[in-house]
């Protein structure tokens, strides 16, 4: 979010302008599927705001509700302090595609709202004057007699803008109006919008997924989440007006663009995930989360390896730590991909949980990322570090602090969702965060930060597949087949990284190159690896037991856990035999 500035920005909207549009707690569902969730924002008179979010998140649905074409499931919209009921007579809309009437020439298209709309004019001379001025303003003075089919898509959109210009409606709603236009035409349209705004100072709500477009045009940007659409951040664009293309090369524009890149990319990643709670009651539901280490599940799914063994598997995306534990305990999922440290904590409350298999070890896929001025772990004292409470990133931070004899109380923990760490780093609201892939690479790429410590040297983060004792007894044959498939996928990843990266990049919403690099940061386990971690070495405990002792030593230092050492058998080895 842009830093507050004392100086008034040239050409910016006066913050004391009256609120024209109020959106409060807007919700929309279709047949119990949430499309919009508790969206609220205000738009002042003469202000331009942008709603920015991934494709399919619900942006256009919000615009259709604002225009009165759709009714919300709940919530309130006020225009000039009047509750909106039915069509919004105070607004005009510019749609994604040309809304020109094909049977009217361009001149008559522009005239139409003046003759028939909510803001129609009786004086025919005034109509002719406004229409001629609008045609000239958008560079179509010589094309008034042409029909829409005789001009380009960019020219048709200019007609749409001209219609909004002649209308006296105070609010312009723009639904991704420049999609499909070539870059040169798009830039010309951006300039045209701003020139019209400078002249008429109308209030604009712009729907877009184009970051540069939002930054160049808007005064404020609301970042929307993947569906259901929620407001995840509000960014004030403190850039001077009038704006010209060269502003895109300024330091502030680039800084804001970096922040918005991260904010929107994380939502694109989330949007690409499967969040199906129960498509088929008979399927085995496996809970997973956004991380490169889940690659074997998606590769197996894509290559039909589960189906070949007669298995019906549904992968359920569960992002929040509390939701993961509840899903397994409540039976919403049958098996859970989780971390070893989290399993140890969950087993304090449910001693029926068992590990079925070790899945992987993070080998640089998790890291503590900090500002460039923080040079060592000792420098963390008094700093604000972002982690998700009681999840693996907090454990890793506690492990690093414990190893360096630093008390957890000497560091200020900021509880956040994993994907929020990068945003807060870019906003300078935290000094560091423990992150994993795919978020980790994005933060390093977009922010002035560096890796202080990672699992490349600190090998304590291991992923495990977990289930309840009752389910393991009931589905022993199926679970053995699942582990066989996952072990088989390790060979596929090792022998064909390109194919593996192609598959997982689609599911995680990252590029193939990013997937290729990130796969190198995880050591995937097969049967042999499982046994090597479980085998007691001569005069020594097993690798897994060693990691368990290290983790328990860390977990015990946090008084909140009231942790008791696990001494009974927690690993069901029959599924890796």
**Mean pLDDT computed over 100-125:** 81
What pLDDT score was predicted for residue 269? 61
Closest CA to 138 of 189, 92, 206: 189
Residue showing tokens 């039915």: 86
215 φ/ψ angles, rounded to the nearest 5 degrees: -65, -40
Share of residues in the chain with pLDDT > 70 (%):
93
CA dihedral 152, 156, 159, 163 (to 10 degrees): 180
Given a contact cutoff of 8 angstroms between Cβ atoms, the answer to whether 57 and 226 are in contact is yes
**Mean pLDDT computed over 314-330:** 83
The CA–CA distances, whole Å, from 577 to 307, 398, 465, 544, 573 equal 22, 34, 15, 17, 7
Residue 258 DSSP symbol: H
What pLDDT score was predicted for residue 116? 76
Lowest-confidence region among 7-21, 103-117, 307-321, 367-381: 7-21
Bridging pattern class, strands 284-288 and 313-317: parallel
Give the separation between CA 220 and CA 230, rounded to whole angstroms.
Answer: 16
**Mean pLDDT computed over 397-417:** 92
**Mean pLDDT computed over 167-193:** 84
Give the separation between CA 111 and CA 121, rounded to whole angstroms.
Answer: 10
Higher pLDDT, 251 or 396: 396
Which CATH code for domain 284-362+461-540+562-576?
Answer: 3.40.190.10
User: Mean pLDDT across the chain, nearest whole number?
Assistant: 86
pLDDT in tens, 517-557: 999 999 999 999 999 999 887 767 899 999 999 999 998 88
Q: Please list, in sequence order, all residues whose beta carbon lies within 8 angstroms of the beta carbon of residue 184, skipping any fewer than 6 positions away.
A: none
Given a contact cutoff of 8 angstroms between Cβ atoms, the answer to whether 297 and 315 are in contact is yes
Highest mean pLDDT among 80-89, 130-139, 168-177, 465-474: 465-474
Closest CA to 207 of 194, 197, 221, 186: 221
Higher pLDDT, 25 or 270: 25
Closest CA to 367 of 358, 357, 377, 359: 377
What pLDDT score was predicted for residue 9? 34
Q: Please list, in sequence order, all residues whose beta carbon lies within 8 angstroms of the beta carbon of residue 517, skipping any fewer than 6 positions away.
A: 441
Given a contact cutoff of 8 angstroms between Cβ atoms, the answer to whether 267 and 223 are in contact is yes
CB neighbour class for 540 (10 Å; exposed up to 12, middle 13-18, buried from 19): exposed
Question: Which pTM does this prediction carry?
Answer: 0.70
pLDDT in tens, 69-88: 889 999 999 988 888 887 88
What pLDDT score was predicted for residue 298? 93
Q: Which long-range contacts (CB under 8 A, 24 or more apart) does 272-278 make?
A: 272/506, 272/507, 272/508, 272/509, 273/317, 273/507, 273/508, 273/509, 274/315, 274/316, 274/317, 274/507, 275/316, 275/317, 276/314, 276/316, 277/316, 277/332, 278/314, 278/332
Per-residue confidence at 15, pLDDT binned at 50, 70, 90? very low
Q: Give the helix/strand (H/E) hosting 207.
A: strand 203-208
pLDDT higher than threshold 60 for residue 3: no
**Mean pLDDT computed over 225-234:** 84
In sequence order, what are the beta bridge partners of 371?
449
pLDDT in tens, 342-363: 999 999 989 999 999 999 999 9
* Record: fold of 31-90+171-271: Rossmann fold (3.40.50)
Neighbours of 125 (CB within 10 A): 8
**Mean pLDDT computed over 7-26:** 66
How long, in residues, is the chain? Answer: 577
| Alpha-helix runs per DSSP H in 331-385 | 340-346
Per-residue confidence at 117, pLDDT binned at 50, 70, 90? low
pLDDT higher than threshold 90 for residue 33: no
pLDDT higher than threshold 80 for residue 488: yes
Task: Kindly provide the residue ranges of all beta strands, DSSP E only, lying in 456-551, ordered along the sequence.
Answer: 462-468, 522-524
The CA–CA distances, whole Å, from 338 to 46, 355, 399 equal 50, 10, 18
Given a contact cutoff of 8 angstroms between Cβ atoms, the answer to whether 248 and 289 are in contact is no
What pLDDT score was predicted for residue 280? 59
What pLDDT score was predicted for residue 11? 42
pLDDT in tens, 422-458: 778 877 889 999 999 988 988 888 778 899 999 999 8
pLDDT higher than threshold 70 for residue 279: no
**Mean pLDDT computed over 358-378:** 95
pLDDT higher than threshold 60 for residue 5: no
453 φ/ψ angles, rounded to the nearest 5 degrees: -155, 145
Share of residues in the chain with pLDDT > 90 (%):
47
Tokens of 572: 């069901």
Query: With respect to CATH, is domain 366-454 assigned 3.30.420.40?
Result: no
pLDDT higher than threshold 90 for residue 10: no
Q: Please list, in sequence order, all residues whose beta carbon lies within 8 angstroms of the beta carbon of residue 514, skipping any fewer than 6 positions away.
A: 438, 441, 505
Tokens of 71: 């009714």
Q: Where are the domains of the chain?
A: 31-90+171-271, 99-169, 284-362+461-540+562-576, 366-454
Per-residue confidence at 274, pLDDT binned at 50, 70, 90? very low
In sequence order, what are the beta bridge partners of 415?
387
What pLDDT score was predicted for residue 500? 94
pLDDT higher than threshold 60 for residue 272: no
Residue 337 DSSP symbol: E
Domain 31-90+171-271 and domain 284-362+461-540+562-576, same fold? Reply is no
pLDDT higher than threshold 60 for residue 223: yes
């Amino acid at each position: 979010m842009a830093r507050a500035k004392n100086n008034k920005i040239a050409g910016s909207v006066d913050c004391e302008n009256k609120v024209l549009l109020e959106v409060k707690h807007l919700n929309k569902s279709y047949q119990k599927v949430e499309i919009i969730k508790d969206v609220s924002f205000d738009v002042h008179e003469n202000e331009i705001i942008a709603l920015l979010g991934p494709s399919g998140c619900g942006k256009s649905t919000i615009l259709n509700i604002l225009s009165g074409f759709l009714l919300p499931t709940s919530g309130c919209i006020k225009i000039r302090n009047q509750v909106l009921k039915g069509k919004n007579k105070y607004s005009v809309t510019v749609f994604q595609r040309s809304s020109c009437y094909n049977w009217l020439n361009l001149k008559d298209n522009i005239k139409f709202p003046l003759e028939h709309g909510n803001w129609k004019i009786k004086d025919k001379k005034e109509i002719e004057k406004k229409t001629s001025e609008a045609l000239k303003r958008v560079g179509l003075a010589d094309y008034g007699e042409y029909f829409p089919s005789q001009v380009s898509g960019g020219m048709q959109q200019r007609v749409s803008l001209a219609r909004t210009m002649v209308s006296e409606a105070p609010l312009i709603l723009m639904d991704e109006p420049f999609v499909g236009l070539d870059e040169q035409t798009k830039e010309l349209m951006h300039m045209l919008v701003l020139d019209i705004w400078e002249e008429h100072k109308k209030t604009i709500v712009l729907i877009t997924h184009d970051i540069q477009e939002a930054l160049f045009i808007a005064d404020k940007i609301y970042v929307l989440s993947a569906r259901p659409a929620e407001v995840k951040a509000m960014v004030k664009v403190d850039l001077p007006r009038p704006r010209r293309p060269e502003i895109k090369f300024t330091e502030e524009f680039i800084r804001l663009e970096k922040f918005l890149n991260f904010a929107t990319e994380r939502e694109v990643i989330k949007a690409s995930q499967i969040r199906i709670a129960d498509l088929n009651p008979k399927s085995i539901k496996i809970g997973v989360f956004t991380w490169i280490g889940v690659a074997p599940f998606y590769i197996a799914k894509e290559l039909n390896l589960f189906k070949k063994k007669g298995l019906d598997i549904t992968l359920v995306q569960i992002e929040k730590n509390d939701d993961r534990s509840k899903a397994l305990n409540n039976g919403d999922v049958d098996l859970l991909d989780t971390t070893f440290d989290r399993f140890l904590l969950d087993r304090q409350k449910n001693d029926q949980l068992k590990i079925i298999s070790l899945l992987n070890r993070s080998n640089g896929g998790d890291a503590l990322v900090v500002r460039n001025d923080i040079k060592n772990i000792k420098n963390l004292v008094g700093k604000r570090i972002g982690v998700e409470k009681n999840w693996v990133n907090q454990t890793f931070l506690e492990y690093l602090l414990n190893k360096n004899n630093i008390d957890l109380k000497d560091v200020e923990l900021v509880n956040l969702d994993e994907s929020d760490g990068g945003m807060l780093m870019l906003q300078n609201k935290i000094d560091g965060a423990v992150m994993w892939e795919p978020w980790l690479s994005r933060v390093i790429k977009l922010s002035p930060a560096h890796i202080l410590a990672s699992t490349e040297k600190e090998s304590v983060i291991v992923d495990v597949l977990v289930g309840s004792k009752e389910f393991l007894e009931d589905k022993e044959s199926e679970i053995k087949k699942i582990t066989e498939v996952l072990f088989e996928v390790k060979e596929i990843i090792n022998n064909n990284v390109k194919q593996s990266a192609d598959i997982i990049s689609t599911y995680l919403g990252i590029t193939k190159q990013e997937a290729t690099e990130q796969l190198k940061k995880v050591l995937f386990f097969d049967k042999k690896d499982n046994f090597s971690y479980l085998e007691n070495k001569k005069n020594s405990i097993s690798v897994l037991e060693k990691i368990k002792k290290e983790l328990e030593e860390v977990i015990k230092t946090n008084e909140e856990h009231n942790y008791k050492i696990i001494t009974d058998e927690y690993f069901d080895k029959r599924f890796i035999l």
